[in-house]
Each structure stands twice: as C-alpha cells, then as structure tokens.
Amino acid sequence: MTEDSTPPPEPSGPGGSDATTAALPPHPHATAIGVSVAAGLVVLDQATKELAEALLTPGVFVPWLGDHIGWQLIYNPGGAFGLPLPHWVFLLVTVGVLALVGRILPRAPTALSATAFGMLLSGAVGNVLDRLFRPGGEVFGSGFVVDFVAWGTFPRFNVADSAITVGFAFLVLALWREERLSAALEVTPSVAQEDGSDEPPPGGDRTEDAAGGEPAPDDPDGPDGPGDPDGPDGPDDPDGPDRPDGPDHPDEDPRS
C-alpha cells in the first residue's frame, strides 16, 4: 500500500487555526491623508499664533469660558506644555519624528492611523518653526514658542501641542482597531474550512482508517498490498494441510 508521505499541517494556535497575525494592506491614500492633515494643522498653528500676538498682551489673561478657560500669550523657551529642556533636544526629537513618520506613514493601514501620524507630524513641525524663525535665544534654533491657550493652572499651549496630544490618542485607538481587524481576518479562513467541508482534495490521502484499521473504500487490494492472491500465508500450496490423500504420498497405502 502506498502511503502519503506529506505530513499533515500542524496547528499553531488554539483550535488548530493559524495564529500568525494577518498583515493589513496599506491604505491606498495613507500618505495623502497624513500629509494633508499635517499641512493643514501647521498652517492653522502658525495663523493662530500670529493672531494671538496681534490681539493679546503678553502675560494678560483674557477669559473665554468662565474664569479659568481663556487666552493668555506666553513666550515659551522650553518644549511642549512648558517642558524645561535645552532647545537642541527638541530639534533632535523633531528630526526623529520626521524620519519615523516618513517611514511608517506610507504603510498605515487605515485612514485613522494616517490621520494620527499627520497630527504628530504637524505638532513637531509647528513648534520647530517657532524655534527656527522666531526671536528668543541667542543661538539659531533657540527661538521662543508662542503659547496662548489658557486652561486653569495647566501650562499654556498652542495648536501644535494639541495636535500632538490628540494625535497620540488617535494612534492608540487606531492600533487597537487594527488589532481587532487582524484577529477577524485570522478567524475567517478557519470558518471557511469548516463550512467547506469534508470534501477531500484531489489526489488526497487514501490510507486506511487509523481507528478501525479498515482499508479505504477505493482500495481493492486490502491491507495486504496490491493483487496478493496468496494471502498472508505465502504462495498457494496445493499440498497444504488440507490436501487429499493420493499416490503422491508414499507413506500412505493407496489401497487403504
């Protein structure tokens, strides 16, 4: 009997399904979405900073929603939300964000993740433009960042800072949704195999049933091999134990 030498597929996850994470294809317009979001927010950030400098007096709080939410123009020598770090640290961070987003954005699988990357990019670019082109420090790249949104005792911030915060939240949400979508794509092939049933593949395994030891229905030769007319006891022996008595056996008297 010819046995199928192809080893059966080994299940690599619960229920025998393939546990490899299904890779989502890139969104066809991921780069366009991210760049458009980044460009629009950078323009909005710079425009609102110019407007704040034109309408507000530095350090003076102007209430908007009650006594704790409003506008207050502040020139920030530090980083986002007033982080006190050297200016070159933020320049390096901006370069790192640009390189990272430029590499990941074209492969973003959803519009939400592309939007999140665009918002992160706009936040980094919006504040670094202030450091490069606004007055402040004595060396190039140490200009002060314009902050003007006041919210209680929270450090003053701007549109670029808000874009970083909201973009990070969007990115976490996008990664969670993409993980759920990948898991759904993994389950789909297993369901298709269960529904499609018991039909064996062409030229499939016709080996005997491991439970009952019986040959497959299409095996006419049985378990002893193809075309074995002699059975398990070897070639046919006409003089076997059931042979009739006759003259070929000298030990017996043929007259008896």
- pLDDT (0 to 100) of residue 256: 43
- pLDDT (0 to 100) of residue 5: 56
- pLDDT (0 to 100) of residue 165: 94
Residue 130 contacts residue 49 (beta carbons within 8 Å) = yes
Q: What are phi and psi of 101, to 5 degrees?
A: -65, -40
Of the residues 4, 18, 161, 205, only one is catalytic, namely 161
- pLDDT (0 to 100) of residue 13: 44
Residue 111: other Cβ atoms inside 10 A = 15
Active site residue 228: no
CA 124 to each of CA 17, 93, 208: distance values in angstroms, whole numbers, following the listed order? 43, 8, 67
Of the residues 147, 198, 209, 230, only one is catalytic, namely 147
- pLDDT (0 to 100) of residue 86: 76
Tell me how far apart the alpha carbons of residues 235 and 219 are, in angstroms, rounded to a whole number. Answer: 22
Active site residue 161: yes
Sequence ranges of the domains in the chain: 30-190
pTM of the model: 0.63
- pLDDT (0 to 100) of residue 67: 87
Positions of the chain with pLDDT lower than 50, given as ranges? 11-20, 204, 206-213, 231, 234, 246-247, 254, 256
Residue 148 contacts residue 141 (beta carbons within 8 Å) = no
